[in-house]
Structure 1
Amino acid sequence: MSKLVQKATDDLKQAIAAAVNTAIQAGTLPEAPLPAFTLEVPADRSHGDWAANIAMAGARAFKCAPRKIAEAITANIDLASSYFDRVEIAGPGFLNFYLKPQFYTDILRDVAALGSRYGHSDFGKKERIMVEFVSANPTGPMHMGNARGGATGDCLAAVLDCAGYDVWREFYVNDAGNQIEKFGISLEARYLQIFQGEENVKFPEDGYHGDDIREHARQYAGAYGDCLLRVSAEERRKALVDYALPKNIAKMKTDMDKYRIHYDEWFLESRLHKDGELEEVIRILQDKGLTYESEGALWYKATKFGGEKDEVLRRQNGNPTYFLADIAYHRNKFEKRGFSRCIDVWGADHHGHVARMKGAMDAIGLDGDKLDIVLIQLVRLVRGSEVVRMSKRTGKAIQLADLLDEVPVDAARFLFNMREASSQMDFDLDLAVQQDSQNPVYYVQYAHARICSLFKKLGVQNPCAADCTDEELALLTAPEELELIRHISAFTNEIIGAAQDYNPARITHYVIMLANLFHRFYTACRIRGEEEHLAKARLALCAAVRTVIRNVLLMFNIDAPESM
C-alpha cells in the first residue's frame, strides 16, 4: 500500500493496541494477549472510513462482551498523532474510525509528488518472476484464446512490475517435437499435391488442414519449383519446415507487436534439445529411481508426485514427449536462469497438466509450489446477441490478426481484462468499437480527456496539489470530493492485491470506478465561477484523477488521449 495508507494503518493499529493496554492497566479489561484483528474499509461509508473488529476478535481472550471491549478501547484511545479524527461504536461492538482532513490533503500531495510513479511500491522486493504467456503453437495462426491470454499475461506482468517485482516476459516457441513433424508432413502433402494432383496425394487425416499450410506450399513451389520432388521425404519436409516455420514465428511477432506485447525473450524449444537439457532431466529422474522402461518406451513414475497416471518421457521410436520437453523448460527457468517464481498463463484445456507439472518439479528436486498456473477460460465473440465464429473479411474462423483489424487495440487489451481469467467471457465486437460511455475503455479515456480539455479551456497548465496551501485543499469537503480522494488513496493497495491474486482485472474495475466517481464529482462540484481557493483545490483534485487514470492506462499499454 502507499506509504501514507501504510502509516495510517500502522498508527491506528498502534493506537488500538495502546488503548487495550491502558484499559488492562486500569482494570477495565482483564489481562490477556492482544488478539489478532483486522482493519478494513467499509462498503458503506456511513459506517466510517475504516473499521476494526478488535472487540469481536477479543471476546474470547478477554472473556467479556464485544460491546464492553469496544467501550474500554474508545475510552482510552488517543488518536491525536494519527490520521483519524474520531471513533464510534456500532452494533454489538464494531469500531468505526473517521479520517481527518489532513489525510485527504496528504494523499493529493503524494500523487502530485510521485506523478507517474504513484501506485508503484516495493512490495515485491525485486523478486525475479517470469510470466510466460500465449506460447501458441507456431504451426498455425493465433486464435481468440491467444488474444485473451496475451492481454491477461501482459497486464499481469505490468501489475507485478508496478508492485515491485523484477518481471520477465517470455514466449515459449514449440519449434521441435511431434507438432513440427506433423507440420512437415502436412506441408509435404500440400506441396506434392501441387505437382501430382490432390487426387493422387492423400492428405494425412491428423495433419494441419488450414489454408495457411496450402499457402506456404504454394509460395515455396512458386519460389523454388519442383526441386523437392527429387529429394528424400526427410529432406523435403525439413526444407519446407525451414521455409515456413520462420515465417509463422515472424507473423506471431508482428501480431504481438501490433497487440503492444513485447517479450524479453522468445525461447525456442529446440534450444533445449540442442543443449542436452532433456537428457539431463532423464538422468536426474533415473538417478532418483523415478523411471522405468515398458514396451520400448521410457516412463516417469508420475503417480509418486500427485499424477493420475505414469507418463511417457521417451517414445518407442526414441523421440522425446512434449511432457519431457516441458519439464526441461521449467527446470531451465528455475535452475538455469534463476527465476524464483514462474507464472504460466495457459488455456483452460490444460487444467489436467497443472498437477503433473508441479509434481514433476518436485520430482527433479525443485519446488513445485514456486510454479503458478493461471488458467484462461474460453472467450466467445459476440455481436449483439449473436455468436460470431467467422471473420467478415475472410469468411474463416476468426484469428487474432482478424480481431486486431476490426477492434482497436486499446479496446481489446482493456475488455479482455474485464473478467478474471477463471471466468468465461463474451467479447462484444460492437461494444469494442463504440465511442460512447457504454464502452468501458472509452468511458475511462473520456474522463482523462475531459480533464485535459478542462485545463485547456481554463488556460491552466498542469495544476496540482503543490500549487495549493493546506487550507485550500481542506476546502474539499463535499462527499463526492472525499469519496474520490479515498478511491485514489487505494490505488497502490489495489495494484498489490492484483499482483497477489494474479488478477489484473482488479485494476480495470478500479479505474472504471475512478472514472465513474470523477464524472459524479464533475457533475456535483463546479469549478468555473467558483470561489478562487476552492476552484484551485478542485483543479488539484482533477489533476490527481488524471494522473491515476493515466498511470493505469499506460501501465496496461493503452493510450491516454488528451482529446476525444
Structure 2
Amino acid sequence: MNPETLAAALLAVLAPIAEERRPGEPLELSASDIVLERPRNRDHGDWSSNIAMRLAKPLGTNPRELAQQIADGLAGVDGIASAEVAGPGFINIRLDAAAAGALAKVIVDAGDAYGSNDSQVGQSINIEFVSANPTGPLHIGHTRWAALGDAIARVLAASGATVAREYYINDAGAQMDRFASSVLAAAKGEPTPEGGYAGSYIGDLAARVLAARPDLLELPADEQVDVARELAYAYQLEEQKQSLSKFNVDFDVWFSERTLHAKNDQGVSLVDQAVDRLREQGHVFDQEGAVWVRTTDFGDDKDRVIRRSNGEYTYFAADAAYYLNKGDRGFQDKIYLLGADHHGYVHRLKAIAGAAGEDPEKNVEVLIGQLVSIGGARLSKRAGNIIEMDDLREWLGTDALRYSLERSPADSPLALDPELLQKRTNDNPVFYVQYAHARTHNVARNAVASGVDRSEFAPETLTHETESALLGALQEFPRIVAFAAEVREPHRVARYLEELAGLYHRWYDNCRVIPLSDDPIESVHRTRLWLNDATGQVLRNGLDLLGVSAPERM
C-alpha cells in the first residue's frame, strides 16, 4: 500500500463522516490534499496524518473525536493493521506486513522507472547554468554549478517535466577583444596586454592558432585580431565542452550571445525585437536621448537603460532579448543558476519577466550558488590563479566530486575535504552509498550461488523491525524525487540515499538472505532477496539522478 492508495482509503472513510455532519454539503477534498508523513519514532506506525485536526472545525467537532471516527473506519481496510489516535488528533497508521512488503516486488518490476513521478508533467523548463566566458578553463565554481544544474535537470525530468539544459556563451562582449589581444600577444612573443588574460593556456592557444594559420602575423593588424579571436574562441569553447562531458554534464543547447545581435534579412536583431516588444507592453520610455525600461514597476531598485544615447545597446538589452527568446522557443519556466556575485541579476530578470507580461514569481527562477573551496588544492599551472575543473576531476574522481558538490544546498558555502573524499571508509558519504549498492549485488550473487532465487514472493514474511524501516524508506523515494524537483534541491536525494544506505546495512546485519548451512531455504529467504534487489534498484536510481555511478563491486 503506497501513500496514494492510503490517502484514497482515508478519503473514502471521511466521505460518509462528512455527509453525516454536513448533509448535502460534499467534502471538497481530494486524495492529493491529504498529507501523510513518516513518524520519526517507528513505534508510532508507518504513516501519520493530521487530517482530523484540519477538518475538525469545518465539520463542527473536536479533532480527537473526528480522529477516532476515522481510525475506527480505517480498521477494516485491507492492508491496514491498526490506526490509533495520538496527541491532539493525529492518526498513526500501521500497515500489515503483506501490504508493506508488497512494495519490494513493485520496485523490482518497475526497475529504472521507480521514483519517476508526474508532479512536473506539462512543465516546459529551460535551465541555464555554468555559462562561463569562452576565454579560459572552467574553474571550481563552474564545477559546482555544473553538478548542481545537471542534477536539478535530472530530478525535474524524472518528475515528468520537459527539460532543456542550456549554456549561454558570452561571446559578444569586450572580454573577447581582450582575449584576442592576449592570444595575439603570445603569438608574437610579447607580454600580456594590460587587462588581458595570462597563464600558459594562452600560449598553448596561440601555438594552435599559429599552427592553423601560419600566415597570421603577415595579415593586416585588424585581421590578425579577428583570426586570433575566432580560432582561439573555437578551441577554448571545445575544451570547455570536453571538460563538462568528462564530468557527465551534457547540454542540449549552446546559445551564442552573438545570436542576439545578428541582423536578419530585414536588418533587425533579436535585441531590436525585444526593445520593440517591451515598448508595446508600455514599459519603455525615452529620456535624455536614451531608451529606458521602467523596471521599478516590477521590484527593481532603479529603471534600466536598454539603449544608450549613442545608440549602443546595454547588457540589459541582451538579457531581455535572451529571456524573451527562451519563451519564443516554448519554455514556460526559465531557471538561471548564477554565481554568488550575481545577486543583482535577480530583480533585473524578474523585472524583464514582468515587463514581458509574464509572472515574475512563476516564470523565472534565479538560484544563487555560493562559493566552494577545497583544502590542499593546487592552483592551475595553466591559468595560474584558479583551480581547474579538469584538475579536480582527475584528482578526486567524477563520482566523489559530483556527489560532494550535490549533497549540500546550493545557497550554502561549501568547503570540500579532499582527504575524506579519497577514503574508502563509511565516513566518506559517496563511498558509503556506493558500497551499499555494491553490497546488494554481492548478496544477490551469493544468493544465486547458494540456491536462493526470486521464484517465490511472500511479503507477509517481512516482519523484522529493520525490514519495516527499510520498506518505509523505499516507499518514500518517489516523494523525495518529486519534492527535490519542486524546490530545485537535489541534495535531498543525496541525503535520502545516505539514510537508505544506513537502513540497508542495519537490515543486512539482522536479516539473512542466505540461510545457515544446516537450515533449509524458506519463503522468507526468497522474499528477502526481492527486498535486497529492490534496495539496490533504488540506490542505483538515486545515484543516477545525481550523475554518479553505481558500481556492482567495490
Pairing of 1:19-38 with structure 2 (within 5 A) = 19-22=17-20, 38=35
Q: Describe the superposition over 1:108-135 as per-residue Cα deviations: whole angstroms up to 9, x where unpaired.
A: 1211221111111222224221221111
Structure 2 residue corresponding to 1:40, chosen from 20, 33, 37: 37
1:164-203 alpha-carbon deviations (Å, 9 max, x no partner)? 11111111111112322332344344445x2xx54xxx82
Question: Which residue does the alignment assign to 1:508?
Answer: 494
Confirm whether residue 138 of structure 1 aligns to residue 134 of structure 2. yes
- Alpha-carbon distance in 2 for matches of 1:442, 1:420: 20
Unaligned runs of 5+ in 1: 26-30
User: Following superposition of structure 1 onto structure 2, how do residues 237-248 of structure 1 map, counting pairs within 5 Å?
Assistant: 237-248=225-236
Of stretches 424-433 and 80-89 in structure 1, the one that deviates more from structure 2 is: 80-89
Provide the C-alpha distance between the structure 2 equivalents of 1:79 and 1:67, rounded to a whole number of angstroms: 16
Aligned to 2:552: 562
Q: Where do residues 71-470 of structure 1 align in structure 2 (5 Å cutoff)?
A: 71-75=68-72, 77-191=73-187, 194=189, 197-198=190-191, 203-204=193-194, 206-221=195-210, 224=213, 227-228=216-217, 231-232=220-221, 234-274=222-262, 275=264, 276-293=269-286, 297-315=290-308, 318-335=311-328, 337-368=329-360, 369-383=362-376, 388=377, 390-391=379-380, 396-459=385-448, 467-469=455-457
Distance 1:190 1:319, change over 3 A: farther
Q: Distance in 1 between matches of 2:300 and 2:321?
A: 18
Sort the Cα spacing of 1:203 and 1:61 in 2 relative to 1 into closer, same or farther, 3 A. same
Q: Count matched residues.
A: 541
Partner letter of residue 485 of structure 1? L
Q: Which residue of 2 aligns with 1:16?
A: 14
Deviation at 1:396, TM superposition (A): 4.8
Secondary structure in 1 aligned to 2:53?
A: helix
Paired residue secondary structure (1:416) = helix
For the structure 1 residues 558 and 487, does the alpha-carbon distance in structure 2 shift closer, same or farther, using more than 3 Å as the test?
same
CA–CA distance in 1 between the matches of 2:300 and 2:453? Answer: 58
Q: State the shift of 1:510 in Å.
A: 1.1
Choose from 469, 482, 489 the match for 1:483: 469
Instruction: Measure the CA separation in 2 of the matches of 1:245 and 1:476.
Output: 61
The amino acid of 1:535's aligned partner reads: H
Deviation per CA, 1:51-89: give whole Å up to 9, x if none.
2223333443355543333334444x1443453222112
Confirm or deny: 8 A CA contact 2:127 2:166 kept in the other structure.
yes
Whole-angstrom CA distance in 1 between matches of 2:293 and 2:186: 37
TM-score (norm 2): 0.90
Which one-letter code corresponds to 1:357 in the other structure?
Answer: L
Corresponding residue SS for 1:55: helix
- Give the distance between the partners of 1:454 and 1:151, measured in 2 at CA: 31
1:520–1:363 Cα change, 3 Å? same
Please state whether the residue corresponding to 2:406 is helix, strand or coil.
coil
Q: What displacement does 1:509 show?
A: 0.9
Q: Which runs of 5+ in 2 are unaligned?
A: none
- 1:538 lines up with 2:528 in the alignment: yes
- SS in structure 1 of the partner of residue 344 of structure 2: helix
Match among 45, 49, 71 for residue 46 of structure 2: 49
Q: 1:255: Cα distance to partner?
A: 0.1
Q: Relative to 1, partners in 2 of residues 1:165 and 1:461: Cα closer, same or farther, differing over 3 Å?
A: farther
Q: Please tell me whether the aligned partners of residues 97 and 461 of structure 2 are also in contact (alpha carbons under 8 angstroms).
A: no
Cα displacement (A) at 1:381: 0.9
Percent identity over the alignment is 34
Distance verdict in 2 for CA 1:86–1:154, change over 3 Å: same
Checking the alignment, whether the CA contact within 8 Å between 2:18 and 2:59 is kept in structure 1 is no
1:489 counterpart letter in structure 2: Q
**Aligned-partner Cα distance in 2 for 1:331–1:319:** 20
- Match of 1:374, SS state, is strand
C-alpha deviations, 1:383-420, integer Å up to 9, x for none?
5xxxx463589875311111112111011111111111
Shift of the 241–82 alpha-carbon distance from structure 1 to 2, 3 Å rule, reads: farther
Distance 1:271 1:82, change over 3 A: farther
